[in-house]
Structure 1
Amino acid sequence: MKFDYNTTRNHLILAEYGRNVQNMVKYICELEDRDERNRYAQAVIELMGFLNPHLRDVADFKHKLWDHLHIISDYKIDVDAPYPKPTPEQAAVKPKHIGYPQQKIRYKHYGRTVEVLIEKAKAVDEPVRRAEMVQGIANFMKMAYVQWNKDNVADETIIKNLGELSSGQLQLDENVNLAKVEFKPQPTGRSASNNNRGRNNNNKGRQNNNNNNRPSRNNNSKSRH
Protein backbone atom coordinates (compact mmCIF):
# COMPACT_ATOMS: atom_id res chain seq x y z
CA MET A 1 0.00 0.00 0.00
CA LYS A 2 1.47 3.32 -1.09
CA PHE A 3 1.01 6.32 1.18
CA ASP A 4 0.80 9.89 -0.08
CA TYR A 5 2.80 12.20 2.18
CA ASN A 6 3.01 15.97 1.99
CA THR A 7 6.76 15.70 1.54
CA THR A 8 6.23 13.87 -1.75
CA ARG A 9 3.57 16.25 -3.06
CA ASN A 10 4.03 19.45 -5.01
CA HIS A 11 4.99 22.56 -3.09
CA LEU A 12 2.01 24.28 -1.44
CA ILE A 13 2.24 27.85 -2.69
CA LEU A 14 -0.25 29.58 -0.35
CA ALA A 15 -0.87 27.34 2.63
CA GLU A 16 -3.78 29.40 3.96
CA TYR A 17 -5.98 28.19 1.08
CA GLY A 18 -5.03 24.54 1.33
CA ARG A 19 -4.07 21.93 -1.23
CA ASN A 20 -7.59 21.40 -2.56
CA VAL A 21 -7.79 25.00 -3.80
CA GLN A 22 -4.39 24.62 -5.41
CA ASN A 23 -5.56 21.46 -7.19
CA MET A 24 -8.69 23.28 -8.39
CA VAL A 25 -6.58 26.10 -9.82
CA LYS A 26 -4.38 23.58 -11.58
CA TYR A 27 -7.48 21.95 -13.07
CA ILE A 28 -8.72 25.34 -14.33
CA CYS A 29 -5.40 26.01 -16.03
CA GLU A 30 -5.80 22.78 -17.99
CA LEU A 31 -9.29 23.59 -19.32
CA GLU A 32 -9.37 24.52 -22.99
CA ASP A 33 -12.63 26.50 -23.07
CA ARG A 34 -12.09 30.09 -21.88
CA ASP A 35 -15.70 30.61 -20.75
CA GLU A 36 -15.49 27.48 -18.67
CA ARG A 37 -12.22 28.67 -17.12
CA ASN A 38 -13.86 31.97 -16.21
CA ARG A 39 -16.82 30.26 -14.52
CA TYR A 40 -14.60 27.93 -12.49
CA ALA A 41 -12.25 30.77 -11.57
CA GLN A 42 -15.16 32.81 -10.20
CA ALA A 43 -16.29 29.83 -8.13
CA VAL A 44 -12.80 29.35 -6.73
CA ILE A 45 -12.60 33.07 -5.85
CA GLU A 46 -15.80 32.72 -3.82
CA LEU A 47 -14.38 29.66 -2.07
CA MET A 48 -11.13 31.46 -1.27
CA GLY A 49 -13.06 34.32 0.28
CA PHE A 50 -15.07 31.86 2.36
CA LEU A 51 -11.91 30.12 3.61
CA ASN A 52 -10.31 33.42 4.62
CA PRO A 53 -13.10 35.72 5.88
CA HIS A 54 -10.55 38.04 7.53
CA LEU A 55 -9.65 39.33 4.06
CA ARG A 56 -13.05 41.04 3.94
CA ASP A 57 -11.64 43.58 6.39
CA VAL A 58 -8.82 44.38 3.95
CA ALA A 59 -9.35 47.17 1.46
CA ASP A 60 -10.05 45.79 -2.04
CA PHE A 61 -10.24 42.24 -0.70
CA LYS A 62 -11.53 41.00 -4.08
CA HIS A 63 -8.40 42.37 -5.70
CA LYS A 64 -6.33 40.51 -3.12
CA LEU A 65 -8.15 37.24 -3.88
CA TRP A 66 -7.56 37.55 -7.63
CA ASP A 67 -3.88 38.27 -7.03
CA HIS A 68 -3.67 35.16 -4.86
CA LEU A 69 -5.38 33.13 -7.59
CA HIS A 70 -2.67 34.13 -10.06
CA ILE A 71 0.05 33.38 -7.53
CA ILE A 72 -1.36 29.91 -6.79
CA SER A 73 -1.39 29.16 -10.52
CA ASP A 74 2.25 30.24 -10.76
CA TYR A 75 0.99 33.10 -12.97
CA LYS A 76 -0.12 30.59 -15.63
CA ILE A 77 -3.92 30.88 -15.35
CA ASP A 78 -5.52 32.60 -18.36
CA VAL A 79 -8.89 34.09 -17.34
CA ASP A 80 -10.74 37.39 -17.68
CA ALA A 81 -9.90 38.88 -14.31
CA PRO A 82 -11.45 42.21 -13.26
CA TYR A 83 -8.03 43.41 -12.10
CA PRO A 84 -4.61 43.64 -13.77
CA LYS A 85 -2.62 40.46 -13.68
CA PRO A 86 0.25 40.63 -11.15
CA THR A 87 3.78 39.71 -12.07
CA PRO A 88 6.41 37.67 -10.20
CA GLU A 89 8.58 40.77 -10.04
CA GLN A 90 5.90 42.62 -8.08
CA ALA A 91 5.61 39.80 -5.58
CA ALA A 92 9.39 39.81 -5.05
CA VAL A 93 9.46 43.49 -4.04
CA LYS A 94 10.06 43.81 -0.31
CA PRO A 95 8.43 46.58 1.72
CA LYS A 96 10.59 49.38 3.02
CA HIS A 97 12.13 48.83 6.41
CA ILE A 98 10.34 50.67 9.20
CA GLY A 99 12.98 52.08 11.49
CA TYR A 100 12.57 51.67 15.22
CA PRO A 101 12.42 54.99 17.12
CA GLN A 102 15.84 55.82 18.51
CA GLN A 103 14.70 58.63 20.78
CA LYS A 104 15.99 58.40 24.31
CA ILE A 105 13.33 58.31 27.05
CA ARG A 106 14.46 59.83 30.33
CA TYR A 107 11.99 57.97 32.53
CA LYS A 108 10.94 54.80 30.78
CA HIS A 109 8.19 53.98 33.26
CA TYR A 110 6.37 57.15 32.15
CA GLY A 111 6.89 56.39 28.49
CA ARG A 112 7.25 58.57 25.43
CA THR A 113 3.60 59.67 25.59
CA VAL A 114 4.19 61.74 28.73
CA GLU A 115 7.05 63.57 27.07
CA VAL A 116 4.85 64.39 24.08
CA LEU A 117 2.06 65.64 26.35
CA ILE A 118 4.50 67.83 28.24
CA GLU A 119 5.70 69.44 25.01
CA LYS A 120 2.07 70.11 24.03
CA ALA A 121 1.34 71.70 27.40
CA LYS A 122 4.42 73.91 27.20
CA ALA A 123 3.09 75.40 23.96
CA VAL A 124 -0.24 76.45 25.55
CA ASP A 125 -0.38 80.12 26.56
CA GLU A 126 -3.82 80.19 28.21
CA PRO A 127 -3.20 79.84 31.97
CA VAL A 128 -6.41 77.99 32.87
CA ARG A 129 -6.11 75.44 30.05
CA ARG A 130 -2.41 75.02 30.72
CA ALA A 131 -3.07 74.31 34.42
CA GLU A 132 -5.72 71.71 33.53
CA MET A 133 -3.34 69.99 31.14
CA VAL A 134 -0.57 69.93 33.74
CA GLN A 135 -2.94 68.43 36.30
CA GLY A 136 -4.02 65.73 33.84
CA ILE A 137 -0.41 64.93 32.92
CA ALA A 138 0.56 64.60 36.58
CA ASN A 139 -2.36 62.24 37.25
CA PHE A 140 -1.34 60.12 34.26
CA MET A 141 2.27 60.05 35.46
CA LYS A 142 1.16 58.80 38.86
CA MET A 143 -0.94 56.04 37.28
CA ALA A 144 1.98 54.96 35.05
CA TYR A 145 4.36 54.97 38.03
CA VAL A 146 2.07 52.80 40.14
CA GLN A 147 1.59 50.31 37.30
CA TRP A 148 5.37 50.05 36.93
CA ASN A 149 6.35 50.06 40.61
CA LYS A 150 3.24 48.28 42.00
CA ASP A 151 3.40 50.52 45.06
CA ASN A 152 2.19 53.92 46.17
CA VAL A 153 4.20 56.95 45.13
CA ALA A 154 4.39 60.31 46.88
CA ASP A 155 2.91 63.27 45.03
CA GLU A 156 6.17 65.11 45.64
CA THR A 157 7.98 62.57 43.44
CA ILE A 158 5.56 63.15 40.56
CA ILE A 159 5.85 66.92 40.93
CA LYS A 160 9.65 66.68 40.94
CA ASN A 161 9.74 64.45 37.83
CA LEU A 162 7.28 66.73 36.05
CA GLY A 163 9.54 69.70 36.64
CA GLU A 164 12.58 67.76 35.42
CA LEU A 165 10.88 66.54 32.24
CA SER A 166 9.58 70.02 31.41
CA SER A 167 12.85 71.79 32.25
CA GLY A 168 11.06 73.66 35.02
CA GLN A 169 8.39 75.14 32.74
CA LEU A 170 5.50 73.11 34.15
CA GLN A 171 4.92 73.28 37.86
CA LEU A 172 2.28 72.13 40.32
CA ASP A 173 1.65 73.45 43.77
CA GLU A 174 3.38 71.41 46.45
CA ASN A 175 0.11 71.11 48.39
CA VAL A 176 -1.82 69.70 45.43
CA ASN A 177 -3.45 66.30 45.87
CA LEU A 178 -3.17 64.09 42.81
CA ALA A 179 -5.73 61.44 41.97
CA LYS A 180 -5.53 58.39 44.21
CA VAL A 181 -4.23 55.40 42.28
CA GLU A 182 -3.98 51.83 43.51
CA PHE A 183 -2.37 48.89 41.74
CA LYS A 184 -4.95 46.21 40.99
CA PRO A 185 -3.32 43.07 39.56
CA GLN A 186 -5.31 41.21 36.96
CA PRO A 187 -6.28 37.66 37.98
CA THR A 188 -4.39 34.92 36.21
CA GLY A 189 -6.11 32.17 34.28
CA ARG A 190 -5.81 29.71 37.18
CA SER A 191 -7.07 32.11 39.85
CA ALA A 192 -9.88 33.30 37.59
CA SER A 193 -10.97 29.71 37.00
CA ASN A 194 -10.86 29.06 40.76
CA ASN A 195 -13.05 32.10 41.35
CA ASN A 196 -15.53 30.89 38.77
CA ARG A 197 -15.41 27.44 40.32
CA GLY A 198 -16.19 28.93 43.72
CA ARG A 199 -19.10 30.84 42.27
CA ASN A 200 -20.46 27.68 40.68
CA ASN A 201 -20.17 25.83 44.00
CA ASN A 202 -22.01 28.63 45.75
CA ASN A 203 -24.76 28.49 43.15
CA LYS A 204 -25.03 24.72 43.59
CA GLY A 205 -25.24 25.18 47.35
CA ARG A 206 -28.04 27.66 46.97
CA GLN A 207 -29.92 25.31 44.67
CA ASN A 208 -29.52 22.44 47.14
CA ASN A 209 -30.77 24.62 49.99
CA ASN A 210 -33.77 25.65 47.95
CA ASN A 211 -34.54 22.03 47.13
CA ASN A 212 -34.27 21.06 50.79
CA ASN A 213 -36.61 23.84 51.84
CA ARG A 214 -39.27 22.78 49.35
CA PRO A 215 -41.93 20.46 50.80
CA SER A 216 -42.07 16.99 49.33
CA ARG A 217 -45.12 16.17 47.27
CA ASN A 218 -45.05 12.52 48.38
CA ASN A 219 -45.07 13.48 52.07
CA ASN A 220 -47.99 15.85 51.51
CA SER A 221 -49.95 13.23 49.67
CA LYS A 222 -49.35 10.67 52.48
CA SER A 223 -50.54 13.11 55.13
CA ARG A 224 -53.75 13.67 53.19
CA HIS A 225 -54.46 9.94 53.08
Structure 2
Amino acid sequence: MNALSYNTERAQLHIPEYGRNVQNMINYAKQIEDRDERNLAARAIIDVMGQLNPHLRDVEDYTHKLWTHLYIMSNFEIDVDSPYDIPEPETLRERPQSMNYPRNTSRYGHFGHYAEKMIKEAATIKDEEEKTYMTELLANLLKKNYLVFHTKNVENSAITSHLRELSKGELQLDDVNQLKSTNTILKSVGVVPKKTFKKHKSKKRRK
Protein backbone atom coordinates (compact mmCIF):
# COMPACT_ATOMS: atom_id res chain seq x y z
CA MET A 1 0.00 0.00 0.00
CA ASN A 2 1.43 3.39 -1.00
CA ALA A 3 2.06 5.85 1.80
CA LEU A 4 -0.13 8.95 1.76
CA SER A 5 1.54 12.25 0.93
CA TYR A 6 0.51 15.21 3.06
CA ASN A 7 0.85 18.87 2.06
CA THR A 8 2.79 19.54 5.27
CA GLU A 9 5.47 17.16 4.01
CA ARG A 10 5.72 18.77 0.56
CA ALA A 11 7.76 21.77 -0.53
CA GLN A 12 6.22 25.13 0.31
CA LEU A 13 4.38 26.84 -2.54
CA HIS A 14 5.78 30.19 -3.63
CA ILE A 15 2.33 31.51 -4.60
CA PRO A 16 -0.34 29.22 -3.06
CA GLU A 17 -3.18 30.82 -5.06
CA TYR A 18 -2.16 28.86 -8.17
CA GLY A 19 -2.15 25.49 -6.42
CA ARG A 20 0.34 22.63 -6.35
CA ASN A 21 -0.49 21.34 -9.85
CA VAL A 22 0.71 24.56 -11.48
CA GLN A 23 3.80 24.48 -9.29
CA ASN A 24 4.49 20.93 -10.44
CA MET A 25 4.04 21.97 -14.07
CA ILE A 26 6.60 24.74 -13.64
CA ASN A 27 9.02 22.39 -11.92
CA TYR A 28 8.68 19.98 -14.85
CA ALA A 29 9.12 22.75 -17.44
CA LYS A 30 12.38 23.77 -15.80
CA GLN A 31 13.79 20.32 -16.58
CA ILE A 32 12.88 20.29 -20.30
CA GLU A 33 16.14 20.35 -22.25
CA ASP A 34 14.86 21.52 -25.63
CA ARG A 35 14.44 25.31 -25.48
CA ASP A 36 11.61 25.51 -28.03
CA GLU A 37 9.67 22.83 -26.18
CA ARG A 38 10.38 24.60 -22.88
CA ASN A 39 9.06 27.88 -24.31
CA LEU A 40 5.87 26.15 -25.48
CA ALA A 41 5.41 24.64 -22.02
CA ALA A 42 5.90 28.04 -20.37
CA ARG A 43 3.26 29.69 -22.57
CA ALA A 44 0.83 26.84 -21.88
CA ILE A 45 1.40 27.29 -18.14
CA ILE A 46 0.77 31.06 -18.48
CA ASP A 47 -2.59 30.28 -20.12
CA VAL A 48 -3.52 27.95 -17.26
CA MET A 49 -2.49 30.54 -14.67
CA GLY A 50 -4.69 33.15 -16.38
CA GLN A 51 -7.69 30.78 -16.39
CA LEU A 52 -7.22 30.00 -12.69
CA ASN A 53 -7.10 33.69 -11.79
CA PRO A 54 -9.52 35.53 -14.10
CA HIS A 55 -9.62 38.48 -11.67
CA LEU A 56 -6.11 39.38 -12.83
CA ARG A 57 -7.61 40.45 -16.15
CA ASP A 58 -8.83 43.58 -14.37
CA VAL A 59 -5.26 44.40 -13.36
CA GLU A 60 -3.31 46.66 -15.70
CA ASP A 61 -0.85 44.63 -17.81
CA TYR A 62 -2.04 41.39 -16.21
CA THR A 63 -0.04 39.23 -18.68
CA HIS A 64 3.15 40.85 -17.40
CA LYS A 65 2.10 39.96 -13.87
CA LEU A 66 1.52 36.32 -14.86
CA TRP A 67 5.03 36.05 -16.29
CA THR A 68 6.45 37.60 -13.12
CA HIS A 69 4.57 35.00 -11.07
CA LEU A 70 5.96 32.26 -13.32
CA TYR A 71 9.52 33.36 -12.54
CA ILE A 72 8.78 33.64 -8.83
CA MET A 73 7.29 30.13 -8.72
CA SER A 74 10.30 28.76 -10.60
CA ASN A 75 12.57 30.39 -8.03
CA PHE A 76 13.92 32.42 -10.99
CA GLU A 77 15.48 29.25 -12.42
CA ILE A 78 13.36 28.74 -15.53
CA ASP A 79 15.18 29.72 -18.75
CA VAL A 80 12.55 30.78 -21.27
CA ASP A 81 12.00 33.59 -23.77
CA SER A 82 9.68 35.96 -21.94
CA PRO A 83 8.04 38.88 -23.79
CA TYR A 84 9.04 41.01 -20.80
CA ASP A 85 12.25 41.78 -18.97
CA ILE A 86 13.19 39.12 -16.45
CA PRO A 87 12.46 40.52 -12.97
CA GLU A 88 15.27 40.79 -10.46
CA PRO A 89 14.61 38.86 -7.21
CA GLU A 90 16.09 41.71 -5.16
CA THR A 91 13.59 44.25 -6.49
CA LEU A 92 10.63 41.99 -5.65
CA ARG A 93 11.87 41.49 -2.10
CA GLU A 94 12.19 45.20 -1.42
CA ARG A 95 9.82 46.47 1.23
CA PRO A 96 7.65 49.45 0.32
CA GLN A 97 8.55 52.69 2.00
CA SER A 98 6.44 53.53 5.03
CA MET A 99 3.91 56.27 4.46
CA ASN A 100 3.65 59.34 6.62
CA TYR A 101 0.09 59.77 7.85
CA PRO A 102 -1.13 63.23 8.82
CA ARG A 103 -1.58 63.64 12.54
CA ASN A 104 -4.30 66.20 13.07
CA THR A 105 -5.28 67.17 16.57
CA SER A 106 -8.79 68.23 17.50
CA ARG A 107 -9.89 70.04 20.60
CA TYR A 108 -12.98 67.85 20.71
CA GLY A 109 -12.41 64.46 19.09
CA HIS A 110 -16.11 63.78 18.54
CA PHE A 111 -16.47 66.85 16.32
CA GLY A 112 -13.54 65.99 14.08
CA HIS A 113 -10.58 67.96 12.77
CA TYR A 114 -12.21 69.06 9.52
CA ALA A 115 -15.33 70.39 11.25
CA GLU A 116 -13.16 72.54 13.52
CA LYS A 117 -11.14 73.70 10.51
CA MET A 118 -14.36 74.72 8.72
CA ILE A 119 -15.44 76.67 11.78
CA LYS A 120 -12.18 78.63 11.80
CA GLU A 121 -12.65 79.46 8.11
CA ALA A 122 -16.30 80.45 8.58
CA ALA A 123 -15.35 82.75 11.47
CA THR A 124 -13.48 84.96 9.00
CA ILE A 125 -16.47 85.50 6.69
CA LYS A 126 -17.39 89.18 6.38
CA ASP A 127 -20.75 88.85 4.63
CA GLU A 128 -23.35 88.60 7.42
CA GLU A 129 -25.91 86.66 5.39
CA GLU A 130 -23.35 84.06 4.39
CA LYS A 131 -22.02 83.93 7.93
CA THR A 132 -25.51 83.29 9.34
CA TYR A 133 -26.04 80.48 6.83
CA MET A 134 -22.69 78.87 7.70
CA THR A 135 -23.41 79.17 11.43
CA GLU A 136 -26.61 77.13 11.15
CA LEU A 137 -24.94 74.62 8.81
CA LEU A 138 -21.95 74.08 11.08
CA ALA A 139 -24.06 73.85 14.21
CA ASN A 140 -26.00 70.97 12.68
CA LEU A 141 -22.75 69.38 11.50
CA LEU A 142 -21.36 69.49 15.06
CA LYS A 143 -24.52 67.89 16.40
CA LYS A 144 -24.43 65.16 13.75
CA ASN A 145 -20.76 64.37 14.41
CA TYR A 146 -21.44 64.24 18.14
CA LEU A 147 -24.37 61.86 17.73
CA VAL A 148 -22.50 59.58 15.35
CA PHE A 149 -19.65 59.39 17.86
CA HIS A 150 -21.75 58.96 21.01
CA THR A 151 -25.15 57.77 19.63
CA LYS A 152 -26.92 59.47 22.51
CA ASN A 153 -28.82 62.71 22.93
CA VAL A 154 -27.07 66.01 23.46
CA GLU A 155 -28.42 69.36 24.59
CA ASN A 156 -28.71 71.92 21.82
CA SER A 157 -27.30 74.55 24.16
CA ALA A 158 -24.11 72.47 24.49
CA ILE A 159 -23.69 72.40 20.71
CA THR A 160 -24.15 76.16 20.34
CA SER A 161 -21.77 76.72 23.25
CA HIS A 162 -19.05 74.62 21.60
CA LEU A 163 -19.62 76.40 18.28
CA ARG A 164 -19.19 79.76 19.96
CA GLU A 165 -16.06 78.54 21.75
CA LEU A 166 -14.40 77.01 18.69
CA SER A 167 -15.09 80.13 16.59
CA LYS A 168 -13.89 82.43 19.40
CA GLY A 169 -17.29 84.05 19.62
CA GLU A 170 -17.62 84.74 15.89
CA LEU A 171 -20.35 82.14 15.19
CA GLN A 172 -23.38 82.32 17.44
CA LEU A 173 -26.65 80.52 16.87
CA ASP A 174 -29.28 82.48 18.75
CA ASP A 175 -32.23 80.16 18.02
CA VAL A 176 -31.52 76.57 19.10
CA ASN A 177 -34.67 75.47 17.22
CA GLN A 178 -32.62 75.80 14.03
CA LEU A 179 -30.85 72.60 15.04
CA LYS A 180 -32.32 69.38 13.69
CA SER A 181 -33.83 66.90 16.13
CA THR A 182 -31.74 63.99 17.40
CA ASN A 183 -34.02 61.39 15.79
CA THR A 184 -33.88 63.13 12.40
CA ILE A 185 -30.08 63.22 12.44
CA LEU A 186 -29.70 59.60 13.58
CA LYS A 187 -32.08 58.38 10.87
CA SER A 188 -30.16 60.35 8.22
CA VAL A 189 -26.93 58.51 9.09
CA GLY A 190 -28.59 55.10 9.25
CA VAL A 191 -28.79 54.79 13.04
CA VAL A 192 -32.19 53.68 14.35
CA PRO A 193 -33.06 55.64 17.49
CA LYS A 194 -33.57 53.45 20.51
CA LYS A 195 -37.18 53.16 21.61
CA THR A 196 -38.30 52.69 25.14
CA PHE A 197 -40.60 49.79 25.79
CA LYS A 198 -42.68 49.25 28.87
CA LYS A 199 -42.00 46.01 30.60
CA HIS A 200 -45.12 43.92 31.17
CA LYS A 201 -45.17 41.10 33.60
CA SER A 202 -46.25 37.92 31.90
CA LYS A 203 -49.35 36.42 33.39
CA LYS A 204 -49.28 32.77 34.20
CA ARG A 205 -51.83 30.75 32.32
CA ARG A 206 -54.37 29.04 34.45
CA LYS A 207 -54.63 25.34 33.93
- Which TM-score band (shorter chain)? 0.7 to 0.9
Partner of 1:14: 15
Q: What amino acid sits opposite 1:88 in the alignment?
A: P
Say if 2:136 and 2:178, in contact at 8 Å, map to a contact too.
no
Partners in 2 of 1:63 and 1:24 — Cα distance? 19
Separation in structure 2 between the aligned mates of residue 133 and residue 83 of structure 1, nearest angstrom: 57
The size of the alignment, in residue pairs, is 186
Matched with 1:104 is 105
Q: Alignment identity in percent?
A: 44
**Could you tell me which amino acid in structure 1 is paired with residue 12 of structure 2?**
H
Q: Counterparts in 2 of 1:1-225, with a 5 A limit?
A: 1-122=2-123, 127-182=128-183, 183=186, 184-185=191-192
**TM-score, length-normalised on structure 2?**
0.74
Structure 1 unaligned blocks of 5 or more = 187-225
Provide the TM-score with structure 1 as the length reference: 0.69
Separation in 2, partners of 1:35, 1:125: 78
User: Which is further off, 127-136 or 20-29?
Assistant: 127-136
Give, in whole Å, the separation in 2 of the partners of 1:123 and 1:51: 59
Distance in structure 1 (CA, Å) of the matches to 2:57 and 2:155: 50
CA contact (8 A) 1:156 1:174 kept: no
| Alpha carbons of structure 1 residues 53 and 109: separation in structure 2 relative to 1, 3 Å | farther
- SS state of the match for residue 107, structure 2? coil
Pair 1:26–1:120, CA change in 2 (3 A): farther
Q: What is the distance in 1 between the residues matched to 2:127 and 2:55?
A: 47
Q: Give unmatched runs, 5+ long, in structure 2.
A: 194-207
Task: Give SS of 2:17's match.
Answer: helix
Q: Offset at 1:73? A: 0.8
CA distance in 2, matches of 1:50, 1:134: 58
The residue type paired with residue 47 of structure 2 is: E
Which amino acid in structure 1 is aligned with residue 178 of structure 2? N
1:159 CA drift (Å): 1.9
Runs of 4+ in 1 over 4 A off after TM superposition: 122-131
Deviations 1:10-44 (A, max 9, x none): 12111122111111111222223333333332332
SS at 2:20 equivalent: helix
SS of equivalent to 1:2: coil
Asked if structure 1 preserves the Cα contact closer than 8 Å seen for 2:115 and 2:142, the reply is yes
> 86-95 or 48-57, which moves further after superposition?
48-57
Deviation at 1:7, TM superposition (A): 2.2
C-alpha contact (below 8 Å) 1:155/1:177 kept by paired residues: no
| Root mean square deviation of aligned Cα | 2.7
The CA distance in 2 between the partners of 1:19 and 1:47, in whole Å, is 13
